[in-house]
Structure 1
């Protein structure tokens, strides 16, 4: 059987019962875990004199833990560090968590230390990954906990609930704007909310803000120019053709989100009172966070911003109407990124 040597020492061979040159290495072995044979690369020692393999207590424990980890992976069981992370997420001790779960106080300690959990206990722990499930457990068994610990957990749950809501909302937005697709209409990228928000804030950072019509065109040129250069969009946004030019799909919803979060300030400007023509101006309320963008993406952002800096909303709208992507797309339809190759910038 293959033996991969990784070291050497001089020690007493337990078989020869004499001091020998002992090779240390790795060898494939089969260990029985719950009546199932698990193959691992076991750490063993080898005596060239008696030609026997053996392992000391420390190595045997390491090999068992390797087999346990492989068994857990095969059966979709939580690893010890994952169990610990679940508990620590709620800022609770092993003893307190065990009390809430109704387990013996030593059980959780054993699992976090490497003992193999049974499937029933594993399923309970999996449910505890969701703060809402933990809250139910906590409300049912908080009488088993000290008052200061109850207050501590309640505070932690408020934060986790808010975090869960934000994560859900972000995923919803990514699906809403990008239709959770990766194809020619998204620029072969899933919608990235952070990158899209960074671009919008960058374009709206100028004193006096930017009209919504121009803001939408700048976002379109940013993604399409980057696609022209590298064959992939930056934000994964799906754009559609409207009478005044290309716009991000569902852009009104997104702008409303940024305004409600006070990241953007919106002001209505009257252009023609008699004809009731009103435009919306957006101004960044804070400096844009460009850390989500790569160096190349930032350079592209700055190129678009500089190229159109002297054009007003009407002028950039007319400019976009001359683009092949706009001219070869029907009103209301998605604009394919394939037209980026003909971009006039």
Structure 2
């Protein structure tokens, strides 16, 4: 897909087209079909990219590699370490990695297949304890005992949202159908609250579309969704799985019943002044962009517009989930 964009060529000052396509790329001697975006200077025909476009390509490539080989994502790698209460030096010694290697993995570097599988394996507390006991001699006795106690008492996702997490997300697997996004109930609630706060009063039917476009717009920019949700193509357009459960449990939402079109509907609002630290600047920018574009649309107008999206049309007959790579064909935003 090619389209002219509102920018001048850094080469000539002339017109610029953006190209969005897929190409086969190689990573560690394996081939993957990834989404790429780049600009073309109309005067010279030369191609150039931005940091955002480069990040999209690499994130798509690395996500596919991680899934193919069962390698955790950066946020999962960090969660494992923090759950056990370990610093970088301690977990590096337990796993036998090079200095600063674990920190690099948390910051996005893709582990080797063997290191990635090792990190995945230590999700099991017994595996972690076995590795710790095998390298007992590398720690002072007092530090060893502290680490042993910390790992022994750790639990995985046993918090106030554990039950909701299972209902909303079912599991923590990642794929093109959830945009390779991490799954966090508190972050999901913040996303919903932030959208409603920015938009103002909104019906759930329109909120479903705002969620869809925010997630897919962010995937188009970065190769990763905000929420980690799947969206199903239903009669009134794309809707996130378990949306009623999500909205009913989002703490900051106020709900009131009103009569509209001879039926009683729920109107959602939010006056929160929280800072939404769980959302990155990039995620907030994606949401703000979608709100600015779609706030003027009525519920019926946004439903009709969503029906023109290729992703909805391809999935609506079977009411199936919409793959996130349809983000590159979005018409409305």
Q: State the TM-score, normalizing by the size of structure 2.
A: 0.53
Q: For the residues of structure 1 that align with 2:240 and 2:330, how far apart are their CA atoms?
A: 17
Among candidates 316, 330, 333, match of residue 343 of structure 1: 330
Aligned pair partner of 1:183 in 160, 175, 181: 175
CA shift at 1:182, angstroms?
Answer: 0.8
**Larger strand proportion of the pair:** 1
Number of the residue aligned with 2:134: 75
Give, in angstroms, the shift of residue 72 of structure 1: 6.8
Output the CA distance in 2 between the equivalents of 1:221 and 1:207. 14
The answer for unaligned runs of 5 or more in structure 1 is 1-38, 40-69, 82-110, 132-162
SS at match of 1:256: helix
The correspondence for 1:197, drawn from 186, 189, 200, is 189
The root-mean-square deviation of aligned C-alpha atoms, in Å, is 3.5
- Is the 2:178–2:225 Cα contact (8 Å) retained in structure 1? yes
What CA deviation, in whole Å up to 9, does each residue of 1:258-294 have, x standing for no partner? 2xx4x21111221133xxx222111114235421122
Counterpart selection for 1:267 from 249, 256, 270? 256
Q: Does 1:247 align with 2:233?
A: no
CA distance in 1, matches of 2:183, 2:207: 18
Q: Give the structure, 1 or 2, with the largest relative contact order (CA under 8 Å, sep 6 or more).
A: 2
Written as runs of structure 1 = structure 2, the 5 A alignment for 1:59-208 is: 73-75=132-134, 112=142, 129=153, 164-166=158-160, 168-169=162-163, 171-172=165-166, 176-177=168-169, 179-205=171-197
SS in 1 for 2:160: helix
SS at match of 2:226: coil
Determine the C-alpha separation between the residues in 2 that align with 1:315 and 1:202: 22
Structure 2 unmatched ranges of 5 or more: 1-95, 97-128
Where has structure 1 moved over 3 Å in runs of 4 or more?
A: 74-81, 111-117, 125-128
Which of 217, 224, 248 matches 1:256?
Answer: 248
* 1:55 corresponding residue in structure 2: none
Q: What is the number of equivalent residue pairs in this alignment?
A: 203
* 2:221 corresponds to which of 221, 226, 229: 229
**Cα distance, 1:179 vs structure 2:** 3.9
Residue 313 of structure 1: CA displacement? 1.2
Question: Closer, same or farther in 2 for the Cα pair 1:242/1:181, shift >3 Å?
Answer: same
